[in-house]
Structure 1
Amino acid sequence: MSARVFPQESLAFPSARLLVLESSTTAGSVALIADGALVAMHPVAMGAGREDQLFPAVQALLKAADMQPQHLTGVVCGEGPGSFTSLRIAASLAKGLAHGASLSLFAVSSLLLAAADASDALPAGPAVVHGDALRGERYVLDVRFDENRRVQAQSALQRMTLEQLDMHVAGRPRLAVLSSPVAELETQVVTPWSAHLLRVVPHAWTRVVPLESWEPQYGRLAEAQVKWEASHGATLPSLGVS
């Protein structure tokens, strides 16, 4: 089933109806954006051992807006990096909705959504956003806020130690996702809410991604895969990610 092509004139949100899913951290959320404005957002607690609440949140959001999936223009999914399991849950749901309603699927960096949380507090210019990558490392993305307080990436996703991050920041505002082991060094603690899509430059997410092959940017292998490979002394190709 072919996806509906996202109209060029809607890239700046004048008439788009977008469902946005974000699940890279324990602070998951789903949002509905229509006519260039946020209609509503539902926070969803994510994490190991929790019952999946993303789909019920989507259902509740659409019901409150008196909408069906086929009324949407597209689905936008936070692509990570972050929790392997939670990202897969959101990606599967986003793909299912896009396929079932013949919608276009888009992906947005979860670190950009997080950085956008600081757009009201920071002036135009560069900043660094970082989140927990486990094993003593941080996911790091260089970003820039424009004069309209919208954020865009200025580098590829990186992974580094706290010591490397200290050197990398070089005086720029430092934004920690949810928490930081060195809170006194952070300019602001930020959350990747789905509603922040409106604060991300359109060209950072308006490229349609293929339903058949798109996967979130996990950032690293799942912990379960690392443990399995360590105990078996072999790789697990079926779960490998870059």
Structure 2
Amino acid sequence: MKVLSIDTSNYVLGIGLLDGQTVLGEYISNIKKNHSVRVMPAIQTLMEECNIKPADLSKIVVAEGPGSYTGVRIGVTIAKTMAWTLQIPLSGVSSLEVAAASAGRYFDGYVSPFFDARRGQIYTGLYKFENQIMKAVKADQLVMSADWVKTLNEMHSRILFTSNDLNLHEEVIKEGLGDKAVFAAITEQNPRPAELALLGREKEAVDLHTFVPNYIRLAEAEANWLKAQETKQ
């Protein structure tokens, strides 16, 4: 089974190709550039380098969010379009689950990936590998980082934190958890598209007509619009 994975849910752009038990190739960049003009060239370049034609693909896997509202939408739209055009199945995987797997596959404890959501908030969840299978211990959520640390302090285990936004919340985490907090190395902080492909390979395919990103919260513009409509009523 040849699987193409696409992750545009945050600044990191990740494209991966998995063939059975072999990672054929990965493209990863962590720069503040528009994903919309970079995704398709990245896919084309990687597939050409790996000598894979679109007709060779068996499945597409996409990071479904949470993360950047625009970024998540771009990846999901492209993945749905390709799956529909090629008539192959599509599966979605939590962007946080991908981050957790990329850093914590061999960590003996819990893994808390997170993305900064501004104003002291983070998108996060709690994961753990059991017999090489990723398990969600606490569901993905939007929460104040200080409140999340209080929740995790009740866990009787070390916790690995992984994020490209570690510097924004590291002090709060250290103060609340002390020695229980472990921080991923910088080489482990970019979600790997090969992990995304592996996680999504066996997941049930989604319905292309009803599949939507998991934003967790409304985009700020949409939330403001809804609030304005309520005021008018």
SS in 1 for 2:139: coil
1:187 alignment counterpart: 182
2:150 to 167, 191, 206: 167
User: In the TM superposition, what whole-angstrom CA distance separates every residue of 1:35-70 from its partner, at most 9, and x where no partner exists?
Assistant: 212111112456575652011111111111222222
User: In the TM superposition, what whole-angstrom CA distance separates every residue of 1:168-188 from its partner, at most 9, and x where no partner exists?
Assistant: 122541413212223253522
Which residue type is aligned with residue 78 of structure 1? A
Q: CA deviation at 1:75?
A: 0.2
SS in 1 for 2:96: helix
Return the TM-score normalized by structure 1. Answer: 0.79
The answer on whether the counterparts of 1:45 and 1:53 sit within 8 Å (CA) in structure 2 is no
Alignment of 1:36 with 2:21, yes or no, is yes
| Higher mean C-alpha displacement, 177-186 vs 60-69 | 177-186
The answer on whether the counterparts of 1:152 and 1:200 sit within 8 Å (CA) in structure 2 is no
The answer on whether the counterparts of 1:47 and 1:86 sit within 8 Å (CA) in structure 2 is no
Mapping of residues 222-241 of structure 1, within 5 Å: 222-229=219-226, 233-234=228-229
2:101 alignment counterpart: 116
Return the TM-score normalized by structure 2. Answer: 0.82
CA distance in 1 between counterparts of 2:18 and 2:198 reads 12
The answer on whether the counterparts of 2:107 and 2:160 sit within 8 Å (CA) in structure 1 is no
Mapping of residues 8-87 of structure 1, within 5 Å: 16-45=1-30, 52-87=37-72
Q: Percent identity?
A: 26
User: In the TM superposition, what whole-angstrom CA distance separates every residue of 1:184-233 from its partner, at most 9, and x where no partner exists?
Assistant: 53522422221223664866xx1110110101111211133234456xx1
Which residue type is aligned with residue 162 of structure 1? S
Q: Which runs of 5+ in 1 are unaligned?
A: 1-15, 236-242
Task: Name the structure, 1 or 2, with higher relative contact order (CA <8 Å, separation 6+).
Answer: 2
CA distance in 2 between counterparts of 1:52 and 1:129 reads 27
Which residue type is aligned with residue 224 of structure 1? A
Mapping of residues 132-151 of structure 1, within 5 Å: 132-148=116-132, 150-151=133-134
Which residue type is aligned with residue 215 of structure 2? Y
2:162 alignment counterpart: 176
Cα pair distance change 1:136/1:212, threshold 3 Å: same
Alignment of 1:208 with 2:214, yes or no, is no
Q: CA deviation at 1:115?
A: 0.7
User: In the TM superposition, what whole-angstrom CA distance separates every residue of 1:84-126 from its partner, at most 9, and x where no partner exists?
Assistant: 1011111111011101111100011111110112235512x43
The answer on whether the counterparts of 1:105 and 1:209 sit within 8 Å (CA) in structure 2 is yes
Cα pair distance change 1:99/1:198, threshold 3 Å: closer
More helix by share: 2
